[in-house]
Amino acid sequence: MQKNATGSASGGLNSENPQKPAAEKAKQSTVSKSQTPMQIAMEEARAAGARGEVPIGAVITRKNQIIARAGNRTREINDPTAHAEVLAIRMACEVLQNERLGECDLYVTLEPCAMCAAAISFARIRRLYYASSDPKGGGVEYGPRFYSQPTCHHAPDVYSGIGEAEATALLRDFFKEKRK
């Protein structure tokens, strides 16, 4: 069982110091044939929503092994950079003891924002898969379109729409409940 950035049974940030990734405790697991990395990212998104966070989840794989998984924690740890993608990248870098993740793929339930798109580029992630587009806050297909900018030194291969209906429903239901 690997840890994620929630510190829970599937978690990965240390409860003693929630800012420090506990990737040394994260165990690699083979991507199962019954559950895809995007489905695991959806689990992380649901867990984030249950904690009152915007329900976004991320999973990083390397050679068909899950090496990191995380859900948003911005409110929980009072850190505006604690997006699922950034937390998963931090954990994967710690697991691999390398700032570059060139053999890794990232699965995330929502189009990354500009900050996360930049982190993905800096980490040299090979492929980015995201479920739902984000016309309001996205940084890949919408907004600044980070990977199309001349200042972008690495652009991953990008695939969108995988699990889109489920991810969109998670977000819609979360914000509908918040507006009550």
Per residue in 80-97, pLDDT tens? 999 999 999 999 999 999
CB-based contact 101:70 (threshold 8 Å):
no
pTM of the predicted model as reported, rounded to 2 decimal places: 0.84
Higher pLDDT, 103 or 27: 103
CATH of the domain at 173: 3.40.140.10
Rg of the chain taking only CA atoms, in angstroms: 15
On whether residue 12 sits in a domain, the answer given is: no
Statement: residue 22 has pLDDT above 60: no
Q: How many separate domains does the chain show?
A: 1
On whether residue 159 sits in a domain, the answer given is: yes
33 falls in which pLDDT band (50, 70, 90)? low
On whether residue 62 sits in a domain, the answer given is: yes
On whether residue 20 sits in a domain, the answer given is: no
User: Which residue ranges make up the annotated binding site?
Assistant: 83, 113, 116
**Residue 121 lies in domain:** 37-179
User: Known catalytic residue: 24?
Assistant: no
* pLDDT mean over 159-179: 96
On whether residue 99 sits in a domain, the answer given is: yes
Structure tokens at 173: 């239901």
The fraction of the chain above a pLDDT of 90, given in percent, is 79
* pLDDT mean over 4-25: 41
On whether residue 41 sits in a domain, the answer given is: yes
User: Which residue ranges make up the annotated binding site for Zn(2+)?
Assistant: 83, 113, 116
On whether residue 76 sits in a domain, the answer given is: yes
On whether residue 2 sits in a domain, the answer given is: no
Task: Give pLDDT, residue 29.
Answer: 56
Strands (E), the chain: 29-30, 57-62, 65-71, 104-110, 127-132, 157-160
What's the rounded Cα separation, in Å, for the pair 131 and 7? 24
Which of these is catalytic: 85, 99, 103, 166? Answer: 85
178 falls in which pLDDT band (50, 70, 90)? confident
* pLDDT mean over 119-148: 98
